[in-house]
Amino acid sequence: MLSARPAAVRGLAARAVIILFLGVSGALVVQLLSPSRLPAAEDRPTLRISGSSTLLPVTESAAEIYLRDRRDLLLTVSGTGTGEGIRSLIDGNIDIADASRDVKIEETRRAAANKTELLRHVVALDCLAVIVHPSNPVRHLTMSQLKDIYLGTIVNWSQVGGPDLVIVPINRDSSSGTFEMWIEEVLQGARHRPDAQVQSSSGGVAYAVSGNRHALGYVSLGFLSPEVRALAVDGVEPSLETASDGTYPIKRDLYMFTRPDRSAEVDKFLAFMESETGRDIVREAGFIPLSDSGARVVSSDPSNDVSGDAANDAAGDAADDASNGGPAAEDAVPSEEPAGRGAVSEIVGELSAVAGDSAPPAEEAGDSGSGGAR
């Protein structure tokens, strides 16, 4: 099993001041300011990156290292979800959109309506690991069984060789690219059961599963840890090797999207991500680094784009129609990941490292939870 991904935040530069405040959405914002040798904010170059929470630790770690040689740069990193990131890029509110799925047809059309285009940059290969509580004796499931569990046809672990416990399925929120991939690859566009738990990040899913022996969830490969156990799917264990050789059935590319009118700062950061240092950051986060021969314009006509946007669009429509549901009656699952990992971090200038923390999951009623999620 993969070790926990490296903490994106480890320390502060000697002359930094840390300011904590609540953002509009209630997410903790961390702003790091160096009070000396920096020009006024309005005179400094800026770079704004937002989107997929799956890629957030990669982008945070990359920003930490990148800023060591770019103390003049005002760099903002946030994990708002793939859909929101792409929307913000189209509207010109950010410079790079992290994404855990490809662009949908309606997004390319919205970009065209805004007189712009979306450029696709492949960053990494990932797979979705199906996870359970470490005490669960089930070791493998088939794609068919996973579909039946999330549709509500299979409702008890005893139906798949486990104990007589009600299954508590955990989903990502419908704005997540991870959720949309799950709908497409596993549920084949079908509507998921309405009582599934919902989490806003892969870290939240891992945290919830680690504290509930009834739970079943799915997370990006980089979020595996000793606090959860990954299941084999169709007889294949999730790993970098099985994702790379194509034998694991639930795999995907991870992207950074930009616009043609991007700034020179965007090109410099993308070149950094393509460098060996950037590729090492991707590896350390638990993904397989990939690189394009160059960015591609994503077409609003699926016949002109081989990325499979039509399939992504169908999955997105199913995801938008799906209900987020409410908590299952059997076991209360923590509704959010630990507060120690804020959804937004604003990183500015003189930065040598940034600190991360974690909190142990709440104990399940009658059971002892273990470990903290990332």
Per-residue pLDDT tens digits of the chain, which is 374 residues long: 433 343 333 332 322 323 233 333 333 333 344 444 555 556 789 999 999 999 999 999 999 999 999 989 999 999 999 999 999 999 999 999 999 999 999 999 999 999 999 999 999 999 999 999 999 999 999 999 999 999 999 999 999 999 999 999 999 998 888 999 999 999 999 988 999 999 988 899 999 999 999 999 999 988 999 999 999 999 999 998 999 899 999 999 999 999 999 999 999 999 999 999 999 999 999 999 986 434 455 554 434 443 333 333 333 333 333 333 333 333 333 333 333 222 232 333 322 223 233 333 333 333 333 333 33
Q: The whole model's pTM is what?
A: 0.69
Q: How far apart are CA 120 and CA 118, in angstroms?
A: 7
Q: How far apart are CA 109 and CA 309, in angstroms?
A: 12
Q: In the CATH scheme, what architecture does the domain 127-244 have?
A: 3-Layer(aba) Sandwich (3.40)
Q: How far apart are CA 331 and CA 365, in angstroms?
A: 7
Residue 9 corresponds to which tokens in the numbers above?
A: 């935040």
pLDDT attached to residue 290: 84
- What are the CA-CA distances from residue 368 to residues 27, 133, 250, 306, 364 (Å)? 28, 11, 31, 48, 6
pLDDT attached to residue 7: 36
Cα end-to-end span (Å), the chain: 15
Gyration radius of the chain over CA positions = 20
Residue 5 corresponds to which tokens in the numbers above?
A: 């991904």
**Is 17-125+253-300+338-348 a CATH 3.40.190.10 domain?**
yes
**What are the start and end residues of each CATH 3.40.190.10 domain in the chain?**
17-125+253-300+338-348, 127-244
pLDDT attached to residue 276: 95
The alpha carbon of 364 is separated from its chain's Cα centroid by a whole number of angstroms, namely 25
pLDDT attached to residue 43: 73
pLDDT attached to residue 356: 32
- What are the CA-CA distances from residue 62 to residues 7, 84, 200, 274, 360 (Å)? 12, 21, 23, 11, 26
Residue 256: what residue type? M
Which residue blocks in the chain are alpha helix, DSSP H? 56-66, 82-90, 105-113, 143-151, 177-185, 202-210, 240-244, 264-274, 276-284, 309-321
